Each structure stands twice: as C-alpha cells, then as structure tokens.
Amino acid sequence: METLGSLVDKLTIANIRLWHLEDKRRNQSLPDDERLNAADAVSVVNSERNALIDEIDRMANNAVKTNVFPVVPKMKLY
C-alpha cells in the first residue's frame, strides 16, 4: 500500500528526472535523435508525475473528508 510519504518520494524522483531530461532535450550539442528521445521521455515522465499528483490529491481529500489522518511516529533525525 502506498503512503503519502512514498508518493511524495516518487514525485520528487519524477521531478528530478524531468529536470535532467529537459536539460538533455535543450542541449544543442547533443545529436538530434538523443534530444528527441529525451523529449519523448519527458512526455512519459510527465504523465507519471501527473498521476502521482492526482493520487496525492485523492489521498489528501480522503483524509480531509473522513477526518482520518495517519499517525506518524516522531523520529529523531540527527
């Protein structure tokens, strides 16, 4: 089962992938086929990103509607 944290983690990874793919797509020094492949990948990753955002929205809306919020144990991060 996905958690809000795991979805946000996947969203972060998708955003980083998009950043690098966009850099590659815009890089005029790369061959056209490599830039075209990057542009195609941007489309795929952007669709994945949008699906993650939709799922995060659904999860947040459900928590607000049901007034049930996951309990996260406090953790010392240092």
Q: Distance between CA atoms of 15 and 76, rounded to whole angstroms? A: 27
In a domain, residue 49? The reply is yes
How far is it, in rounded angstroms, from Cα 52 to Cα 55? Answer: 5
Q: Is 44 helix (H, G, I), strand (E, B) or coil?
A: helix
Residue 35 lies in a domain: yes
Residue 30, domain extent: 4-66
What total number of domains does the chain contain? 1
The reply to whether 74 falls in a domain is no
User: Is 23's pLDDT higher than 90?
Assistant: yes
Structure tokens that stand for 43 in this block: 């489309």
The pTM of this model reads 0.80
Q: Is residue 78 part of a domain?
A: no
pLDDT for the residue numbered 5: 87
30 inside domain? yes
Report the chain's mean pLDDT, rounded to a whole number. 92
Q: Are 10 and 54 in contact (CB under 8 A)?
A: no
